[in-house]
Amino acid sequence: MISVQPHDDLQTIFDRAAPGEVIRLAPGEYRVKSVIFTDGLTLVGAGADATRIVWDDYAQKIHADGKEYNTFRTWTLAVCADNVTMRDLAVVNDALHPETKGQEVALTVYGDNFAMEHCRLTSTQDTLFLGPLPRDLIERYDGFLPDHLRRDKACRQRFTDCLIEGTVDFIFGCGEALFEDCEIRSLYDVRGHGYAAAPAHALEQTEGFRFQNCRFTAEGTVADGSIYLARPWRDYGLCVFENCAYGPHISPLGFDKWNDTERDKTARFYESPSRPGRVPWARSF
């Protein structure tokens, strides 16, 4: 086991840790941008309100290479390894003001068999990215994103008893992810509306984002009916909502087709029990 204090170099610790190592993070704020490449690591904090990994990159910020960061380089923490587990900590992007700064990712997961328990993920637009990327973006970002953020691989993720909060598309990607007993909290956005999930799964994927026994809540300033549960980031995006509880901020329509697209014809959005007033292309099971 490795014990870590807030003043320690977290990236060096991740790089030197052996596969299967347990890393215990003491209470405090770890203001660092870091990436995990080692399989099998377990990160354990002192509680989601006590141990916080924080950074503040945003999409329109200029990178050292002279280009904008783009959504997929803004993460605070990127997990690019398999069989990683995280417990009792928070991952935060505190850049704020996405209406002028663009997307601000807190956690990127580009690994298989990832598990997160009793944690908190906080940002605004695009809080949690669940890899892989859609295939068109894997091709588009060749030479821009490093290979470990462009792999076309199966990525399964599980979130248990976590709080995930944001404004627009704040759970997005192509990962096959289970959210069980989580709180999905919408934060206020000056643009006046928001979307919780933005799936982009390929047609051959039979598992997408599954929200099971989750609570969809909001800050008090979020207007009733102003938030959609999901909109398809690509054709065939797959979301399942099972036995979830919704606050009044959730639109009776439930889902949005994504601007002027025709993705309502291909999106795979399921809900049980079904709710009256949902868009006609929502499915029940």
Q: Domain residue spans in the chain? A: 2-284
Handedness of CA 42, 45, 47, 52 (dihedral sign): negative
Which is it for the CA torsion 108, 132, 18, 159, positive or negative?
A: positive
Find how far residue 63's CA is from the centre of its chain: 22
What percent of the chain clears pLDDT 70, i.e. is strictly above it? 100
Q: What is the pLDDT of residue 44?
A: 98
Give 120's strand partners. 90, 163
In this prediction the pTM is 0.98
Which pLDDT value is given to residue 134? 98
β-pair type (176-180, 156-160): parallel
Residue 173 forms beta bridges with which residues? 130, 199
Eight-class DSSP state of 49: T
Taking residues 83-96, what's their average pLDDT? 98
Mean pLDDT of the chain: 97
Q: How far apart are CA 143 and CA 150, in angstroms?
A: 10
The yes-or-no verdict on residue 220 having pLDDT over 90 is: no
Supply the Cα-derived Rg of the chain in whole angstroms. 18
Please state, for a pLDDT cut of 90, what percent of the chain lies above it.
99
Whole-angstrom Cα distance, residue 159 to residue 6?
25
pLDDT of residue 206: 96
Q: Per-residue confidence at 37, pLDDT binned at 50, 70, 90?
A: very high
Residue 194 in this model has a pLDDT that exceeds 90? yes
Task: For domain 2-284, give its CATH number from 2.30.42.10, 2.160.20.10, 2.40.50.100, 2.40.160.10.
Answer: 2.160.20.10
Residue 2 structure tokens: 């490795």
Q: Does 199 score more than 90 pLDDT?
A: yes
- Which residue blocks in the chain are alpha helix, DSSP H? 10-16, 98-101, 135-140
Q: What is the mean pLDDT of residues 12-27?
A: 98
- For residue 61, CA distances in Å to 54, 69, 252 come to 17, 6, 36
| CA distance linking residue 205 with residue 154, whole number of Å | 10
107-141 tens-digit pLDDT: 999 999 999 999 999 999 999 999 999 999 999 99
Q: How far apart are CA 107 and CA 85, in angstroms?
A: 13
Q: What is the pLDDT of residues 165-174, one digit of tens each?
A: 999 999 999 9
